[in-house]
């Protein structure tokens, strides 16, 4: 882990000039023929490789959608698994073009890292998991507990704030990777494991007896997770941002992976703008006119991607909740494509 950050740091120090000079990320990606995408190291539902090495997950689908929009081929992605603490350095150094690795959008990250968030792929919040046998029903009963956590995340600060705010004592044990933290929790070193709620559900599946563990009802923080791109290339920023908006818009308009070809023939002015049969919105982004149908054909609309990876159609079975569309009780909302 250390050597990776070291190499990346040196790369940042020595190689930034290359990046700054060639802000044309789209051109770089096209010339390379591959999108380089930073993802997690194995978080079911968001980014995890299967036994054949195929990556799946919501974060992974964002990468595939961007690749589909550029190349009309969702497989033209090189996935770079990154730990929480190496992810920003990898983006800064230019090793990856997009960071899509359940990263929480905060002001300080937006301003001090030389990178921008392009949107919110998943509205999450931090929660706690405990063993059922402890008979704990609320996070407020956790005074004096030992808590396992992955280091290098907003989680550590939220944890400190929550326990301090509720006048509770605790012991924190911070591990380099998520798997190490989960393993220590399972071995009994900690009473509590904390991360974002989506992560808790995903990690619970990895435990020997998932049914022996319970996720507590408290959600102690706002964790809007989204992709990031480097500063200095607004065109690239727009492409990644609008790829996600295209997925949300597709769900709103009822465009699915199955009916996309049918819908493309629609005469409705709104549909014609989205599918590029009228106007050149896609070309304004630096893409092609049919960019939306490329994206939807590759990964489906936002709702389909959600269901397949983390929602009802997956092992995680997480409810849509905040992540439902704005007109269905959630807060997922895309500015209009016109």
Partner 1 sequence: MAIEPRKPPSQLLPRLQRALGGSAGWSGFVVQLLFVAALAWIAYEIVANARANLQAQRITAGFGFMANTAGFDVNQYLIPYSNSDSYTRVFLVGLLNTLLVSVIGIFFATLIGFLVALGRLSPNWLLSRIAGGYVELVRNLPLLFQILFWYLAVLAALPNPRQSISIFDSLFLSNRGLVIPKPIGEPGFEPFVFALLIALVAAIVLWRYSRRQLFQSGRVIKVWPYALGMIIGLPLLTTLIFGAPVKFEVPVLKGFNFAGGSRVIPEFVALTLALSTYTGAFIAEIVRAGILSVHKGQMEAGSSLGLQRGSVLRLIVIPQAMRVILPPLTNQYLNLTKNSSLAVAIGYPDLVSVFAGTTLSQTGQAIEIIGVTMGVYLLISLVTSAIMSFYGWRISRSMG
- Toward partner 1, which CB reaches closer, 38 or 276? 38
- Binding test (CB under 8 A) with partner 1, winner from 25, 100, 118, 153: 153
Query: What distance in Å separates the CA atoms of residue 252 and residue 167, rounded to the nearest whole number?
Result: 44
Q: Out of 6, 140, 319, 331, point to the residue binding partner 1 (CB under 8 A).
A: 6
6-to-1, 2, 89, 195 alpha-carbon distances in Å: 9, 6, 10, 26
In eight-state DSSP terms, residue 316 is S
Number of residues this chain uses to bind partner 1 (CB under 8 A): 58
144 near partner 1, rule: CB under 8 A:
yes
Q: Which is nearer to partner 1, 164 or 268 (CB)?
A: 164
Q: Nearer to partner 1 by C-beta: 170 or 245? A: 170
- Judged by CB under 8 A, the stretch of 47-55, 121-129, 178-186, 267-275 that binds partner 1 is 178-186
SS3 43: strand
* Contact window for partner 1 (CB under 8 A) among 50-58, 147-155, 213-221, 285-293: 147-155
Q: By CB under 8 A, is residue 188 in contact with partner 1?
A: yes
Nearer to partner 1, 111 or 284 (CB): 111
Sole binder of partner 1 in the list 46, 79, 88, 193 (CB under 8 A): 88
List binders of partner 1 among 24-63 (CB under 8 A).
Answer: none
CB of 13 to partner 1, least distance (A): 4
Q: Which one of 36, 121, 151, 332 is in contact with partner 1 (CB under 8 A)?
A: 151
- Look at the chain and count its residues: 338
* Nearest CB to partner 1, comparing residues 132 and 265: 132
* Residues in 214-233 at the binding interface with partner 1, rule: CB under 8 A: 230-232
Q: CA-to-CA distance for 96 and 94, rounded, in angstroms? A: 5
Three-state secondary structure of 193-242: EEEEHHHHHHHHHHCCCHHHEEECCCCCCCEEEEEEEECCCHHHHHHHHH
- Nearer Cβ to partner 1 (152/311): 152
Q: Which residues contact 13 (CB under 8 A, 6 or more apart)?
A: none
Angle at 115 between CA 92 and CA 244, to 5 degrees: 115
- Residues in contact with 271: Cβ distance below 8 Å, sequence separation at least 6, in sequence order: 253, 263, 264
- C-beta of residue 69 within 8 angstroms of C-beta of residue 239: yes
Task: Please count the other Cβ atoms lying within 10 Å of the Cβ belonging to residue 150.
Answer: 24
Using rule CB under 8 A, residue 207 touches partner 1: no
The pair of three-digit structure tokens given for residue 232, joined into one six-digit string: 């200095």
Q: What span, in angstroms and rounded, lies between the C-alpha atoms of 115 and 309?
A: 27
Binds partner 1 by CB under 8 A, chosen from 49, 176, 321, 330: 176
Residues of this chain that interact with partner 1 (CB under 8 A) are 1-2, 5-6, 8-9, 12-14, 16-17, 19-20, 84-85, 88-89, 92, 108-109, 111-114, 134, 142-146, 148, 151-153, 156-157, 159-161, 164, 170-176, 180-181, 183-184, 187-189, 191, 230-232
């Amino acid at each position: 882990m250390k050597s990776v950050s070291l190499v990346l740091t040196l790369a940042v120090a020595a190689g930034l000039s290359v990046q700054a000079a060639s802000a044309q990320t789209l051109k770089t990606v096209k010339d390379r023929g591959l999108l380089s995408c930073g993802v997690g190291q194995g978080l079911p539902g968001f980014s995890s490789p299967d036994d054949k090495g195929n990556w799946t997950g919501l974060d992974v689908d964002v990468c595939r959608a961007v690749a589909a929009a550029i190349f009309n081929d969702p497989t033209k992605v090189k996935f770079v698994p990154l730990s929480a603490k190496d992810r920003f350095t990898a983006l800064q150094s230019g090793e990856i073009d997009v960071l899509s690795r359940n990263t929480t959008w905060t002001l300080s990250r937006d301003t001090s890292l030389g990178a921008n968030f392009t949107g919110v792929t998943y509205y999450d919040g931090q929660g706690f998991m405990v063993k059922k046998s402890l008979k704990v029903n609320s996070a407020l009963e956790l005074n004096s507990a030992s808590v396992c956590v992955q280091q290098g995340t907003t989680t550590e600060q939220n944890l400190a704030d929550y326990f301090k705010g509720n006048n509770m004592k605790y012991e924190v044990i911070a591990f380099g990777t998520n798997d190490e933290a989960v393993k220590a929790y399972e071995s009994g070193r900690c009473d509590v494991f904390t991360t974002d709620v989506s992560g808790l559900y995903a990690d619970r599946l990895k435990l020997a007896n998932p049914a022996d563990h319970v996720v507590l009802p408290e959600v102690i923080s706002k964790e809007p997770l989204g992709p990031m791109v480097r500063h200095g290339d607004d065109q690239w920023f727009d492409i990644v941002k609008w790829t996600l908006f295209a997925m949300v818009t597709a769900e709103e308009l009822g465009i699915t992976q199955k009916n996309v070809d049918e819908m493309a023939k629609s005469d409705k002015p709104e549909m014609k703008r989205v599918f590029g049969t009228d106007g050149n919105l896609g070309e304004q982004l630096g893409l092609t006119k049919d960019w939306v149908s490329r994206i939807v054909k590759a990964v489906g609309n936002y709702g389909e991607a959600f269901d397949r990876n983390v929602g009802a159609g997956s092992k995680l079975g997480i409810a849509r909740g905040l992540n439902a569309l704005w007109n269905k009780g959630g807060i997922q909302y895309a500015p209009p494509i016109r």
